[in-house]
């Protein structure tokens, strides 16, 4: 029997990790992700898991230990946020380049400077090209469900890539909401035992890991990582279908909310999608055909599917909680604009709004204002500003 509880996002992730019962967890604390490994450490000390819990001297060491454990054939996990993820930077690329299926919950938090402990997406968006699968979560329920599914996705023999599952710092990590937990035996039956095909401790079949790789083979090995990403979308959908069978909850590459007949659409990730859905409902009641597309799988980017879902809209606004500082907009916007370039039919008008940096709230009036801007763009045929910093004191 599943359990329905009121819980924070961090508690939900710690519970998922307990149910997953990884072989190795290496961790170093950082706000607002500290509670995840703190609560999981209680499961270790109480004998509720068989995990080897490794306390290390930094986040760089945490990822290094996870890489070593995964290369040795273990199911390995860690968790971090913000500067902690940035300190792992070097090792993120190594984990992906070695095709090690490490899974890490990441609690989104702004990168310094100035020092800030609150939410934006600059940490995981900065890691978007590291080779990790990235799955974004609106609330505690999605974070819990996504983490369990990420184990199967990362370890799938057609994939074998590391995966990070994100949720918004404090807003979700420390905010209380309802969630439904699966039974332990259901989770473990779903994820199954990890049986690596190649690993360092298989002395009968020795392999080399981390070899020096110059111009003779480096290019081919990097291409293999890219090739693995081409298979991720199908595996994500396959795993989601199986997960629906045990949970009743449906997941896709992205979620559309009143999107099919929408004329004006917002594209967004994570917790602000909940606020945007309420705005959509209010605008629909007033006769405006508003819709929402919430991206779940951001890396690899599901270009064809998103383009199909958005083709035919009159205008689209992409809301980014991170800035590339390229002066071309946020990371979601840049990717989506490139994806829509070859979309069939007339070119859809697109604009970008960067919002909520450092944890600044976004409210319903601001989101409604974005939809009003889209209506004005269609009415006049003119985009006065392609990138707007929403809610900033200019």
Site of tokens 């799988």: 297
Q: Using DSSP, state whether 363 is helix, strand or coil.
A: coil
Looking at 195, 214, 247, the residue that finishes a domain is: 247
- From residue 102, give the alpha-carbon distance in Å to each of 164, 251, 364: 8, 21, 37
| Distance (Å, whole) CA 294 – CA 72 | 37
Indicate the length of the chain as a whole number. 394
Reported pTM: 0.98
305 close to 253: Cβ distance less than 8 angstroms? yes
Answer yes or no: do 367 and 282 share one domain. Answer: yes
Question: What would the mean pLDDT of 12-25 be, rounded to a whole number?
Answer: 98
pLDDT single digits (tens) 191-228? 999 999 999 999 999 999 988 999 999 999 999 999 99
pLDDT single digits (tens) 247-278? 999 999 999 999 999 999 999 999 999 999 99
| Distance (Å, whole) CA 152 – CA 367 | 36
Could you give phi then psi for residue 176, rounded to 5 degrees? -90, 135
Q: How many CB atoms lie within 10 A of CB 332?
A: 25
Does the structure show a pLDDT above 70 at 1? no
Answer yes or no: do 218 and 264 share one domain. Answer: no
Answer yes or no: do 272 and 370 share one domain. Answer: yes
Answer yes or no: do 136 and 227 share one domain. Answer: yes
Q: Which helix (H) or strand (E) holds 389?
A: strand 387-390
What per-residue confidence (pLDDT) applies to 345?
85
For 214, residues 6+ apart whose C-beta sits below 8 A from its C-beta are: none
Answer yes or no: do 135 and 99 share one domain. Answer: yes
Q: Which helix (H) or strand (E) holds 92?
A: helix 89-97
| Distance (Å, whole) CA 143 – CA 169 | 12
pLDDT single digits (tens) 150-171? 999 999 999 999 999 999 999 9
Q: What is the CATH number of the domain that holds 12?
A: 3.40.50.970
| Distance (Å, whole) CA 152 – CA 176 | 27
What per-residue confidence (pLDDT) applies to 205?
96
Answer yes or no: do 42 and 166 share one domain. Answer: yes
Q: How many CB atoms lie within 10 A of CB 242?
A: 13
Answer yes or no: do 316 and 242 share one domain. Answer: no
Looking at 247, 265, 292, the residue that finishes a domain is: 247
Answer yes or no: do 122 and 264 share one domain. Answer: no
What per-residue confidence (pLDDT) applies to 394?
84
Question: What would the mean pLDDT of 12-28 be, rounded to a whole number?
Answer: 98
Answer yes or no: do 226 and 261 share one domain. Answer: no
Answer yes or no: do 242 and 259 share one domain. Answer: no
Number of domains the chain contains: 2
Answer yes or no: do 172 and 263 share one domain. Answer: no
Question: Closest Cα partner for 322 from 270, 364, 274?
Answer: 270
Give the mean pLDDT of the chain: 97
What per-residue confidence (pLDDT) applies to 344?
86
Answer yes or no: do 125 and 221 share one domain. Answer: yes
Q: What is the CATH number of the domain that holds 356?
A: 3.40.50.920
Show the domain range for 167: 3-247
Looking at 217, 247, 277, the residue that finishes a domain is: 247
């Amino acid at each position: 029997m599943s359990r329905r509880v009121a819980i924070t996002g961090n508690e939900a992730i710690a519970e998922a990790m307990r149910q997953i019962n990884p072989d190795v967890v290496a961790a170093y604390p950082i706000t607002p992700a500290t509670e995840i490994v703190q609560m999981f450490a209680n499961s270790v000390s109480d004998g509720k898991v068989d995990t080897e819990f490794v306390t290390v001297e930094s986040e760089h060491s945490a990822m290094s230990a996870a890489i070593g454990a995964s290369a040795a054939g273990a199911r390995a996990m860690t968790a971090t946020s913000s500067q902690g993820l940035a300190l792992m930077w070097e090792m993120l690329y190594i984990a992906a380049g070695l095709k090690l299926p490490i899974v890490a919950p990441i609690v989104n938090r702004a990168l310094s400077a100035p020092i800030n402990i609150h939410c934006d997406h600059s940490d995981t968006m900065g890691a978007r090209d590291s080779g990790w699968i990235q799955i974004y979560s609106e609330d505690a329920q999605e974070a819990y469900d996504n983490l369990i599914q990420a184990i199967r996705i990362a370890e799938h023999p057609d994939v074998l890539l590391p995966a990070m599952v994100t949720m918004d710092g404090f807003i979700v990590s420390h905010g209380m909401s309802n969630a439904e937990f699966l039974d332990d035996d259901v989770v473990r039956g779903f994820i199954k035992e990890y049986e690596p095909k190649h690993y360092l401790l298989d002395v009968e079949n020795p392999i080399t890991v981390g070899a020096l790789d110059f111009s003779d083979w480096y290019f081919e090995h990097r291409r293999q990582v890219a090739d693995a990403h081409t298979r991720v979308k199908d595996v994500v959908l396959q795993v989601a279908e199986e997960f629906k069978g045990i949970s009743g909850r449906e997941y896709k590459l992205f979620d559309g909310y009143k999107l099919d007949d929408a004329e004006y659409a917002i594209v967004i990730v994570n917790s602000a999608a909940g606020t945007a859905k309420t705005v959509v409902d209010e605008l629909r009641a007033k006769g405006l055909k508003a819709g929402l597309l919430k991206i779940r799988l951001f890396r690899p980017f599901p270009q064809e599917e998103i383009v199909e879902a958005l083709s035919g809209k009159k205008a689209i606004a992409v809301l980014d909680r991170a800035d590339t500082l390229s002066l071309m907009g946020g990371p979601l916007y840049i990717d989506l604009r490139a994806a829509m370039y070859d979309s069939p039919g007339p070119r859809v008008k697109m604009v970008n709004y960067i919002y909520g940096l450092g944890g600044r709230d976004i409210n319903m009036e601001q989101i409604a204002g974005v939809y009003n801007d889209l209506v004005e763009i269609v009415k006049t045929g003119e985009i006065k500003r392609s990138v707007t910093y929403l809610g900033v004191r200019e």
